[in-house]
Amino acid sequence: MSSPLQISRDQALRQRFEGTIAKARSHPVPGSFVDTVEKPLLPAEVLRGDRASTDRPKNRLARPPVQVKASRGGGKGFFGGIISGIGKAFGSVFKGIGKAFGSVFKGIGKAFGALIGKGVDCAVLGLAGFVERIQGLFSKGRSLTDDQKVRYRNVYGSTVDLDSVRIRRGGPLSWGASKTIGNTIFLQDDCFDANGQLNELGKNTLDHEMAHIWQYQNGGSDYIHGSIFAQAMGMVTDGDRRAAYDWRSAFNDGLAFCDLNPEQQASLIATATRLSPNGGPIEARSSITEAEAAYLNAALAEVRAGRGAP
């Protein structure tokens, strides 16, 4: 058990210590023991559970992080750059080879299409020649009349040999629609009146078929398969083969006369023939705009020069 003297000595030391603490608290020295003890280890916001304030204050003396710039090679290094260059070079080579093969196959496709077209033309001409010989045993057909020759000379000038044109009525080659094969025009029976003369439908049809005569004499037989393919496309795209005859759609698309399909060309020439049977310039009217009249006149100039046939 401690003596009264020891207790009083301890109390004196305690009072002195508490006085020292009180004095230190009233004038704390930064970094001292009292300053450290008095500060909480964590901010009050953390003690309250506020997660947004959990970041400790940044040390202003801390050095900024070192930023390493990537090299131009994308971090690939010397060999990576070489490999990348070789890859690009091979890519360019193979791309060029691909284009070359594409052009070759495109050319082969065009040549094959032309070969098929020629085959169709030869088959049709051969069949027509055979049928015409058989039909010739029963009817000789007829030539253009003098009035018809004058009419078509005004349209075509000297680019058509009108004396070689033959017109046949009916027969197997007129089934389905009137048509022109070579220099022979096969008209359906409904193109003639009771006296065997051309009615209004027959005259309009002859104007159209004479354009095919011009195509044959100035461009060969390509108009045959061109006409077949155009009518087939009309069936596919519009459900009607007659869509292939619409020259105004080509005019609206800005196509030149030489770019029209054979049926569009024939329909355009037939329209020009009816609007200008004497061969004079076509003028605008209720059914033809000024732009269309100019287009028709330009087309007739090509026809009379023997240019633009399929």
Q: How far apart are CA 162 and CA 156, in angstroms?
A: 10
Q: How far apart are CA 283 and CA 275, in angstroms?
A: 8
pLDDT at residue 122, rounded to an integer:
74
Whether pLDDT at 256 is above 70:
yes
pLDDT at residue 95, rounded to an integer:
65
Q: 191-208, pLDDT tens digit by residue?
A: 999 999 999 999 999 999
What interhelical angle do 262-275 and 200-219 show, nearest 10? 120
Q: Assign 85 a pLDDT band (cuts: 50, 70, 90).
A: confident
The answer to which of 42-56, 149-163, 207-221 has the lowest mean pLDDT is 42-56
Whether pLDDT at 157 is above 90:
yes
| Domain-located, residue 199 | yes
| Domain-located, residue 248 | yes
Residue 137: DSSP 8-state = T
What interhelical angle do 290-304 and 146-156 show, nearest 10? 100
Q: How far apart are CA 251 and CA 299, in angstroms?
A: 11
Number of Cβ within 10 Å of residue 274's Cβ equals 12
pLDDT at residue 141, rounded to an integer:
85
Residue with tokens 């007659």: 242
Task: Look at 36 and 173; give whichever has higher pLDDT.
Answer: 173
Q: What single letter denotes the amino acid at residue 237?
A: T
| Domain-located, residue 21 | no
Q: 275-284, pLDDT tens digit by residue?
A: 998 999 999 9
In terms of residue numbers, what domain contains 165?
107-304
Q: What are phi and psi of 179, to 5 degrees?
A: -155, 165
pTM score: 0.61
Q: What's the total number of domains in the chain? A: 1
| Domain-located, residue 295 | yes
Q: How far apart are CA 106 and CA 246, in angstroms?
A: 29
The answer to which of 2-16, 36-50, 146-160 has the lowest mean pLDDT is 36-50
Q: 100-152, pLDDT tens digit by residue?
A: 655 544 454 445 455 576 677 677 666 656 555 555 544 568 999 999 999 99
Number of Cβ within 10 Å of residue 99's Cβ equals 10
Residue closest to 157 by CA, chosen among 263, 307, 265: 307
Q: Assign 237 a pLDDT band (cuts: 50, 70, 90).
A: very high
Whether pLDDT at 268 is above 90:
yes
Whether pLDDT at 244 is above 90:
yes
pLDDT at residue 66, rounded to an integer:
52
| Domain-located, residue 27 | no
pLDDT at residue 213, rounded to an integer:
98
Residue with tokens 């090679």: 73
| Domain-located, residue 249 | yes
pLDDT at residue 18, rounded to an integer:
72
* Mean pLDDT for the stretch of residues 24-40: 55
pLDDT at residue 46, rounded to an integer:
46
Sheet of 184-187, strands arranged across? 166-169, 184-187, 179-181
pLDDT at residue 106, rounded to an integer:
44
Q: 245 near 271, Cβ under 8 Å?
A: no
pLDDT at residue 53, rounded to an integer:
46
Half-sphere exposure of 21 (CA within 13 A, CB side): 8
Torsion of CA 138, 143, 146, 152, to 10 degrees: 140
Number of Cβ within 10 Å of residue 135's Cβ equals 20
> Which residues are within 8 A (CB) of 101 and not within 5 positions of it... i.e. 6 or more apart?
none
Q: How far apart are CA 136 and CA 5, in angstroms?
A: 161
| Domain-located, residue 258 | yes
Task: Look at 277 and 16; give whichever has higher pLDDT.
Answer: 277
Q: How far apart are CA 145 and CA 115, in angstroms?
A: 38
| Domain-located, residue 263 | yes
